[in-house]
Amino acid sequence: MTSILQRLHDHTLADLGALAAPYDTGHLSRTAALAGRIAEESGLAAGTARCAAYLYHRFRLPGPGDDPAAPARATALDFLTRSGVPGELHRDLLTVVDPGSPAAEVPYGATVLDAERIDAMGAAGLQRALTGEGVPWHPDGPAGRHPRPAPPELYEALVRAERELLTEPARRLAADRMDLVHRLAADYRTEAELGRHPGEPDRAGTAAPGVHWDPESGFLQAVADDPGTGPLVRIGYRGTVWLTFDDGDRLLGIDLRDAPPALVALLPPAQQHRYFWHSTARGEGIAWWADHGAGHAWITTSPGLAHHRVVAVADIEVGTRADRPATLRLHVQNNH
Q: Answer yes or no: are the C-beta atoms of 107 and 44 closer than 8 Å.
A: yes
Query: Pairing relation of β-strands 324-332 and 287-291?
Result: unpaired
Q: Is the distance from CB of 5 to CB of 18 less than 8 angstroms?
A: no
Convert the pLDDT of each residue in 216-226 to its tens digit.
778 898 888 77
Look at strands 287-291 and 296-300 and give their pairing. Answer: antiparallel
Q: Helices marked H in 167-213 — which ranges?
A: 168-193
Determine contact, residues 224/318, Cβ cutoff 8 Å: no
pLDDT tens per residue across span 99-134: 666 767 788 989 999 999 999 998 888 888 877 665
- Say whether 156 sits in a helix, a strand or coil: helix
Contacts for 100-105: CB closer than 8 Å, 24+ residues apart: 103/56, 104/166
Q: To the nearest whole number, what is the mean pLDDT of the chain?
A: 78
Q: Which of 76-80, 119-123, 217-221, 270-274 is the least confident region? A: 270-274
Euclidean distance between CA atoms 116 and 27, whole angstroms: 9
d(CA 307, CA 249): 8
Q: Is the pLDDT confidence value at 153 over 80? A: no
The answer to whether 133 and 120 have CB atoms below 8 angstroms apart is no
Instruction: Write the pLDDT tens digit of every residue in 158-209.
Output: 878 888 889 999 988 888 788 777 777 766 766 665 554 444 444 444 456 7
Q: Are 289 and 268 in contact (CB under 8 A)?
A: yes
Residue type (1 letter), 187: D
- Determine what percent of the chain falls in helix, strand and coil, rounding each to the nearest 5: 40, 20, 40
Residue pair 103/28 in contact (Cβ under 8 Å)? The answer is no
